[in-house]
Amino acid sequence: MPDDITQLESQLNDFDPAVRATALAALLEAERRGEVTPAPPADVANMHCHTFFSFNAYGYSPSGLAWLAHKNGYRLLGMVDFDVLDAVDEFLDACELVGVRGSAGIETRVFIPEFATREINSPGEPGIYYHMGIGFAGGWVSPAAAGILHDLRTRARQRNLEIVRRVNAWLDPVAVDYEQDVLPLTPAGNATERHLVLAYARAAERELGGTEGNSEELAAFWAGKLGLDAAQVTALLAEPARFQNTARAKLMKRGGVGYVQPSHDAFPRVEDFHRLITACGALPCAAWLDGVSAGEQAMEELLGLLIDQGVVALNIIPDRNWNLADPEERRRKVQHLYDVVRLAGALDLPLNVGTEMNSPGNKLMDDFDAGELAPVRQAFLDGAHFIYGHTAMQRANGLGYQSAWAQTHLPSRGQRNDFYTQIGYLVPPGPAGIAMLRELDHNADPEEFRRRVEK
């Protein structure tokens, strides 16, 4: 029986959505028969997990992530993909089926003219900013906003094709064809740099031989192209995840042959991205790296600018700010973390926290028991419940944070934050919670909603 469960869990990450749906249904049936015993829900949250629709380092699909959370007792889980909303419906539906408080989002890079001379959270790229939208209730996009989403995908493809052109020339005789070698690594044609690196690693093995072929020739090839010692490359090749991270850094990041310094028109403006997010009833969300760059040293100025343009939340990846080997760097970045959490609170910005899962070594869940996170743990949990509360209300009856109902009854950001956080704690995940909200009078005021869901 354990082998059957393992096989079903593997099928959850199949590129065929029908296979995924069948596997999830079978796993839930196995749970009903007592063949799977999920861990009891714990007060932890990972609200920033990429699915395989952009890149997940462990291969997780939307359904695979939902089952992972259910099986491991993660109370809240949120997916975020680069440039697409392909995973939203499947993920939220799966979270409802398994009883996990879920949220869904999108991430891209934008240009901020006011910070054109300052590096923010995209290293080495002044004015370029990793930015997010969270709290989507579904993947449908209105015709008015569909062009913005199409533009994100088109820009990503153009950037990838330019990288491939440059890297193919550098790695000759190893080369990849974008259509034949890269896109099949994705379920819906949204490739990232990590897909490109995987395609090049496989192409080199085909051309030169891998672990069962002429590995010395392969190591010598990569040593020459990456500027590393052959023995070092041999050790890296034994750990594919480490090798791929190294190859990406050497070939595609700043200073690499495939890197193109982005122009200011390479990415959309904040206001265009926000139009897409708000047209879907979702929430523009700022993103913070570690407080070190010139732009993040001016975080109050940056957040003030973004709030004026519609931002209502802040994303943080906690592990990169405390789980550090160097004691001084750790002390400094932990203090930056505390400072930005305090600033977010003062500005009425709930927090969206997570591990990303798009790079080998990223945790499945943050260590919420770490001493360094104790002062901010409750803020993390409150933010996660806020996002789920908004998502549940928007999904059930269109009364999420951006709705006319919220604007009328909860005019300030602080009022909305409190209300949707309470709803997030009170409304259980799954069909019963959504049904509970749908039964309520849409004309009721927030206090009536709270009273009814508390019963």
Element (H, E) at 129: strand 128-134
Confidence of residue 214 (pLDDT cuts 50, 70, 90): low
Confidence of residue 285 (pLDDT cuts 50, 70, 90): very high
The answer on pLDDT for 320 being more than 50 is yes
* Percent of the chain whose pLDDT exceeds 90: 86
**Cα separation of 73 and 51, whole Å?**
19
**Cα separation of 165 and 258, whole Å?**
8
- pLDDT (tens digit per residue) in 334-351: 999 999 999 999 999 999
Which residues contact residue 335 at a Cβ distance below 8 angstroms, ignoring those fewer than 6 apart? none
Structure tokens at 320: 């990169």
Structure tokens at 105: 């989002």
- pLDDT (tens digit per residue) in 222-253: 999 999 998 999 999 999 889 999 999 999 99
Confidence of residue 361 (pLDDT cuts 50, 70, 90): confident
pTM (predicted TM-score): 0.94
User: For residue 329, what pLDDT is reported?
Assistant: 97
**Cα separation of 89 and 87, whole Å?**
6
Q: What one-character-per-residue DSSP string does 78-117 give?
A: EEEEES--TTHHHHHHHHHHHT-EEEEEEEEEEE-GGGTT
Find out whether 39 and 74 touch, Cβ atoms under 8 Å: no
